[in-house]
Amino acid sequence: EISGFAFDLDGVITDTAKFHAMAWQQVAEQVGTKWTSQLADNLKGIDRMTSLEMILKAGGHETEYSDTEKEQLADEKNHNYVNLIKTLTPDDILPGMLDFIQSLHQNHYKLALASVSRNAPVILERLGLTDSFEGIVDPASLKLGKPDPEIYIRAAEVMHLDPDKVIGVEDAAAGVTSINKAGETSLGIGDAKILHEANLIFANTKEVTLQAIKEKMTAN
């Protein structure tokens, strides 16, 4: 019996995934790594420093930058990203997500946030969703990011639920892997080819309703 939902933020609740991609593309161009849609997909859900390492590696530049220079590049990316998210308002919640979150509350499900983004609290505030979650996993407290299961295990803990009672909601392949390894049910939103490991797949946020989830779960 499912009793709680653990949500990723970027690309699930709001379309900040595109802002992360825009800011990383600038860094990629600066270091001379070719920006591709595949690289963009691979970076989804990945924490800040690991994302930078992946961008450097994709272009064969991993040995060209000192730790200090890497910190600078990551700071620059975040500076650009923070600028891009300044204008977020509750209107930027993805289609259907507010209704879905409200229906979860009405049906007494618990909700947790499982984002590795250090910017998650300010984004939730701008979307007017801070009070919608029982708990937020603090990314600063994590040893490993997605695809490691740690963040989704912690999300179940903040809801005081066993993992098998939790559905994790993700737009990223790394996130789906994290959910599956945590022993939860994975719900992927997006391209079925990229999210093929997900237990339940929805093409977009509008289609995600409690009814549709129940139907897919009995069909499985």
Q: Please report, as ranges, the residues that interact with ligand G6P according to CB under 6 A.
A: 10, 17, 20, 43-48, 51, 78, 115-119
Cβ distance to ligand G6P smaller for residue 78 or 132: 78
126 marked ligand binding residue: no
Q: Match 């600028």 to its residue by tokens.
A: 83
User: Which pair of structure tokens corresponds to residue 118?
Assistant: 């250090």
Check binding of 135 to Mg ion (CB under 5 A): no
Of residues 146 through 175, those in contact with Mg ion by CB under 5 A are 171-172
Residue among 120, 179, 169, 185 nearest 147 (CA)? 179
* 8 annotated to a ligand binding site: yes
* Residue appearing with tokens 């939790």: 166
With tokens 């390894």, the residue in question is: 181
The residue of the chain with the least Cβ separation from Mg ion equals 11
Taking CB under 5 A as the criterion, the residue among 4, 11, 135, 188 binding Mg ion is 11
CB of 34 to Mg ion, least distance (A): 23
Residues making up the annotated binding site for Mg(2+) are 8, 10, 170-171
